[in-house]
């Protein structure tokens, strides 16, 4: 780009020959507006216009648009001053391949044709939305730039913004002489290579995301307006300052990093991976997510890191609304469910003969209702957890008795063999909320039954070590892939082996783990050797001494009452 055309151009009127402009359009309206103004200026100067369509317009719709909204330009279609073509006519060969040399020859022919027809040059607007390989496009643009130099051709390369990432935008911008941008409702040609800083700033200001660029030493090279707004900086005073120092000054409460694996090496080699973590800002109310990308160095641009910030504070609000919603809905469901449970119990009591079909139907309704009750309990708990209002009411209980109680309905399950490995007479004291513990056990046992084919076995064990009791539920079922052993504890996450095959909403394990942790314990999944799943629930137990102390304390309290 050594002998590039003037970079001081600010309008479409006086573009030097060889001028190569890029434009990242957001929608068809912007694209049409830019292209029309660009052609209007060229047609007025006796240039031939050539609109090569792809993306939102094909040749037919572009022609219809001109005829409907721009009759003065449409009339130049008839005289042959303006030509509208589909992209494949110019960019693709008969075999629908993109051959750069062929395309450059076509441009050369198009220029000669324009001159032969009496025009002063050719003004092209080409939409590159059709291309799938950014790398090939960049190579093409480089070669085109060299070709166009000193040729009576002016080019506007249009790229759909939605297909570009920030690095592509920077790379492509650098290959062109100007970047076309809409600022304050008018079109601006922002000079590229010679005015790098100016270009950076103008380009960044057109972006809606918060973006900072830092060099390998961690110094801020530039920041978008949105970024300054996010960080509460009112001027460009941040330029040149160290990112580490900068991140301590803003109104942000937390920044979570998201680094692409391929970027991670480069970042650590530049020693900036901990910049935002080290700063650990705590004095604001904004939560940001940062994406980091490396813009590779080339002849014009040094290697820089692009930090793209997303404001995720709003997501928390959505979380709270979701929490409220879950609470209200599940509360509304809870009352009728309690009434139905009472009615079903009455019905059971009023049918003395357990072998009659009526009794079987009641039992079926009962088990459906238990399922609904479980889901509503999980929804209610999720709502409370989201609002930080979940509480447990622990009392000293025999853990083993609670396990046996939860297990009871399953022991009559004819489809699975339940095998208890623990000593049923042993007493295991723990401070637990019996209702919540039942909820955990029901979730884990339901899963074991649901995800284990009929005829297979399910084992239960209670293992005591130190001050912890661990309930181990082992099944010979479909198993959980190793990559999902943690993910299944996320809310609404359902495993790939289960989605679409088994009913469920993906809350059981999420809620159960939260409840287990509220008890000072934990819940996790392991792969069973030989196939199947092992779910482990650990809970702190009350030792003999502590139990004795508790009893003494209770009797003391009773005496003083
Ligand atoms: P629900 O919230 O109604 O219980 P769910 O069973 O899908 O629905 P979770 O109990 O949270 O949700 O379980 C999450 C996922 O973990 C399941 O969708 C399933 O893929 C997997 N999973 C849980 N337990 C087992 C198991 N014992 N064997 C195989 N996969 C399991
Ligand atoms: Mg479940």
Atom of ligand 1 nearest to the CA of 448: 27
Considering the four listed CATH numbers 3.30.450.20, 3.40.50.300, 3.30.460.10, 3.10.20.340, the one that applies to the domain covering 197-311 is: 3.30.450.20
247 pocket-lining for ligand 1 (C-beta < 6 Å): no
List CB-based neighbours of ion ligand 2 within 5 Å. Answer: 447, 508
541 pocket-lining for ligand 1 (C-beta < 6 Å): no
> Nearest C-alpha to atom 10 of ligand 1 is from which residue?
508
Beta-bridge mates of residue 258: 291
The mean pLDDT of 9-28, rounded to a whole number, is 84
pLDDT digits (tens, 9 = 90+) for 490-544: 988 899 899 888 988 899 999 999 999 999 999 999 999 999 999 999 999 998 6
Please report, for the chain, the start and end positions of each structural domain, with discontinuous segments joined by +.
20-190, 197-311, 317-386, 395-545
The answer to whether residues 179 and 28 touch, using CB atoms and an 8 Å cutoff, is no
Cβ-Cβ contacts under 8 Å for 387 (sequence gap 6 or more): 320, 323, 324, 327
The pTM assigned to this predicted structure is: 0.50
Dump the DSSP string for 535-553.
EEEEEE---HHHHHHHHHH
> Nearest C-alpha to atom 27 of ligand 1 is from which residue?
448
The mean pLDDT of 367-375, rounded to a whole number, is 86
Q: How many CB atoms lie within 10 A of CB 461?
A: 15
Task: Return the CATH architecture of domain 317-386.
Answer: Orthogonal Bundle (1.10)
Atom of ligand 1 nearest to the CA of 507: 2
pLDDT digits (tens, 9 = 90+) for 129-139: 988 888 888 88
For 395-545, CATH number? 3.30.565.10
- CA distances in angstroms from 133 to 109, 130, 268, listed in the order given: 26, 9, 29
475 pocket-lining for ligand 1 (C-beta < 6 Å): yes
Domains 20-190 and 317-386 share a fold: no
510 pocket-lining for ligand 1 (C-beta < 6 Å): yes
Residue 528 DSSP code: P
Protein fold of 20-190: Rossmann fold (3.40.50)
pLDDT digits (tens, 9 = 90+) for 408-424: 888 877 889 999 999 98
- Exposure class string for 80-114: b at 16+ Cβ within 10 A, else e: ebbbbbbbeebbbeeeeebebeebbeebeebbeeb
477 pocket-lining for ligand 1 (C-beta < 6 Å): yes
Three-class SS state of 126: strand
257 pocket-lining for ligand 1 (C-beta < 6 Å): no
């Amino acid at each position: 780009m050594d002998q590039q055309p003037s970079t001081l151009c600010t309008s479409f009127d006086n573009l030097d020959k060889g001028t190569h402009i890029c434009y990242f359009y957001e929608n068809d309206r912007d694209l049409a507006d830019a292209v029309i103004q660009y052609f209007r200026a060229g047609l007025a100067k006796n240039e031939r216009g050539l609109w090569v369509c792809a993306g939102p317009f094909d040749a037919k719709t572009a022609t219809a648009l001109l005829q409907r909204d721009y009759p003065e330009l449409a009339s130049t279609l008839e005289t042959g001053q303006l030509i509208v073509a589909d992209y494949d006519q110019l960019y693709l060969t008969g075999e629908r391949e993109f051959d750069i040399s062929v395309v450059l020859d076509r441009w050369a022919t198009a220029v000669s044709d324009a001159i032969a027809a009496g025009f002063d040059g050719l003004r092209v607007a080409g939409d590159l939305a059709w291309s799938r390989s950014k790398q090939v496009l960049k190579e093409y643009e480089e070669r085109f730039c060299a070709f166009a130099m000193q040729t009576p051709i002016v080019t506007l390369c249009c790229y759909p913004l939605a297909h570009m990432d920030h690095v592509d935008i920077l790379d492509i911008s650098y290959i062109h002489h100007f970047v076309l941008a809409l600022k304050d409702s008018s079109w601006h040609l922002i000079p590229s290579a010679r005015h790098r800083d100016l270009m950076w700033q103008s380009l960044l200001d057109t972006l809606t995301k918060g973006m900072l660029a830092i060099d390998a030493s961690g110094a801020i090279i530039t920041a978008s307006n949105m970024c300054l707004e996010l960080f509460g900086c009112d001027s460009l005073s941040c330029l040149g300052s160290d990112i580490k120092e900068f991140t301590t000054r803003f109104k942000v409460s937390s920044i979570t990093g998201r680094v692409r694996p391929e970027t991670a090496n480069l970042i650590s080699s530049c020693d900036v991976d901990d910049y935002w973590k080290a700063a650990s800002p705590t004095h604001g109310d904004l939560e940001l997510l940062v994406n980091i990308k490396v813009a590779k160095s080339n002849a014009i641009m040094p290697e820089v890191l692009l930090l793209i910030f997303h404001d995720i504070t709003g997501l928390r609000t959505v979380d709270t609304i979701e929490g409220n919603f879950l609470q209200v809905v599940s509360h509304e469901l809870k009352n009728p469910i309690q009434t139905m449970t009472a009615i079903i119990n009455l019905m059971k009591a009023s049918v003395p003969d357990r072998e009659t079909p009526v009794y079987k139907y009641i039992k079926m309704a009962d088990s459906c209702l238990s399922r609904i009750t479980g889901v509503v309990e999980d929804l209610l708990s999720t709502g409370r957890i989201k609002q930080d209002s979940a509480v447990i009411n622990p009392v000293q209980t025999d853990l083993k008795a609670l396990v046996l109680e939860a297990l009871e309905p399953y022991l009559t399950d004819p489809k699975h063999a339940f095998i208890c490995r623990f000593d049923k007479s042993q007493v295991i004291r723990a401070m637990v909320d019996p209702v919540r513990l039942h909820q955990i056990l029901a979730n884990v046992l339901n899963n074991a039954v649901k995800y284990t084919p009929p005829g297979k076995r399910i084992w239960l064990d209670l293992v005591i070590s130190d001050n912890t009791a661990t309930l181990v539920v082992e099944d010979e079922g479909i198993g959980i892939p190793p990559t999902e052993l943690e993910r299944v504890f996320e809310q609404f996450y359902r495993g790939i082996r289960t989605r679409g095959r088994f009913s469920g909403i993906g809350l059981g394990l999420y809620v159960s783990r939260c409840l287990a942790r509220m008890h000072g314990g934990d819940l996790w999944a392991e792969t069973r050797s030989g196939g199947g799943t092992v779910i482990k629930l650990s809970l702190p137990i009350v030792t003999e001494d502590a139990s004795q102390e508790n009893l003494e304390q209770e009797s003391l309290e009773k005496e003083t009452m």
